[in-house]
Amino acid sequence: MNLEFSAEMWFWKGPAPWYFVTVPDDECRVLQSTASFVSYGWGMIPVSAHIGATGWATSLWPKDGRYIVPVKAVVRRAEGLDVGDTVTIRLNVDI
């Protein structure tokens, strides 16, 4: 399954700070319909993600009934991204 969407990058300043993009509601509904087939512990969904020309392997994290995409530092540097930027993300979920 392939999904593409645009959303704003945000920063979570917690004990382990990280950057994320929240998956929009429509795409979350699609992901939830297949989650039982692909998720592992804590409802995580493994994906291949791409922003611009940069790709990486990660997992979607469930949060507040939606999913969030963690964006690694190497991806942010390669694509020149920062908090508040709207990014277009392509996700591939191997079903």
CATH number of the structural domain spanning residue 48 = 2.40.30.100
How do the pLDDT tens digits run along the chain, 95 residues long?
999 999 999 999 888 789 999 999 999 999 999 888 998 878 899 999 999 999 999 999 999 999 999 999 999 999 999 999 999 999 999 87
Q: For residue 74, give both structure tokens.
A: 């190497």
pLDDT of residue 19: 97
Instruction: Enter the pTM of the model.
Output: 0.91
Q: How many domains does the chain have?
A: 1
Containing structural domain, residue 64: 2-92
Per-residue model confidence (pLDDT) at position 74: 96
**pLDDT value of residue 14:** 80
- Report d(CA 42, CA 54) in Å as an integer: 27
